[in-house]
Structure 1
């Protein structure tokens, strides 16, 4: 199967699993449910979620909403990769040409950064850009 197709199929599984994880967080909220410290829930937020009594219909609606939103976010990210949209946060002085994702080959450097690592570090760059725009 085409690697791009495999990636996109796996992406839909990741989205589904993420929406189910959110369901579980709503059913059993905890400060420890969030992995990244920047998004940890406060005691007040956990208490507020515990007060909510989500039934199966509400949880299903939340899961569908989350899946649609995550899919839309990936669509927007891929549109940026494909250069059919331009960056909105970072000011460019040249034409945005997008990026390509490709299968690794033996000639590529072993120390090239991995996106799954860089995405967390980029949060701080994004935050800085947003704060600069708000000043």
Structure 2
């Protein structure tokens, strides 16, 4: 069985909707200033006091808000595009991450519904694994020093 055209369309329309909604949400929050508790990745937020003060400078600038919205949307779309290339088999994950045998999306049936793992449950936990193996860049996304 393969993924049906109607599920492909609905899924990709939803992806585009989420890209826009997240970009709008974040740029709106930055435009208003204040708490950064809306940031969920990495799992411990990661902003230093200096970074938070710098983000306060983004408040009340509609041109900057619009530009940020576009940058955020572009970043989200780029990540999804790269992941879809891995799913489509037109690129592969870094071989140092582990064995890869390719995957595909299929329409869910009652038979497939049993014992499925949820990727969304794993994403944030895997950040810490990624942090352990990522190359040193002189910066990090979180503020954990351990």
Q: TM-score, normalised by structure 2?
A: 0.75
2:23 touches 2:72 (CA, 8 Å); kept in 1? yes
Moved more, 120-129 or 57-66: 120-129
**Structure 1 residue 33 and structure 2 residue 44: aligned?**
no
Moved more, 15-24 or 36-45: 36-45
Cα RMSD of the aligned pairs, angstroms, is 2.5
Aligned mates of 1:67, 1:43 — CA distance in 2: 26
* Aligned-pair CA distance for 1:40: 4.2
Aligned mates of 2:123, 2:98 — CA distance in 1: 20
2:27 touches 2:65 (CA, 8 Å); kept in 1? yes
Matches within 5 A, 1:30-109: 30-35=35-40, 37-88=43-94, 90-91=96-97, 96-108=100-112
Aligned mates of 2:58, 2:108 — CA distance in 1: 47
Q: 1:34 to 1:91 in 2, by over 3 A?
A: closer
Aligned mates of 2:101, 2:110 — CA distance in 1: 26
Q: 1:56 to 1:31 in 2, by over 3 A?
A: closer
Structure 1 stretches lacking a partner, 5+ long: none
Q: 1:124 aligns with which of 124, 128, 131?
A: 128
Structure in which a larger fraction of residues adopt helix:
1
Structure 2 stretches lacking a partner, 5+ long: 137-146
* Aligned-pair CA distance for 1:42: 3.3
1:19 touches 1:63 (CA, 8 Å); kept in 2? yes
State the number of aligned residues. 130
* Aligned-pair CA distance for 1:91: 4.9
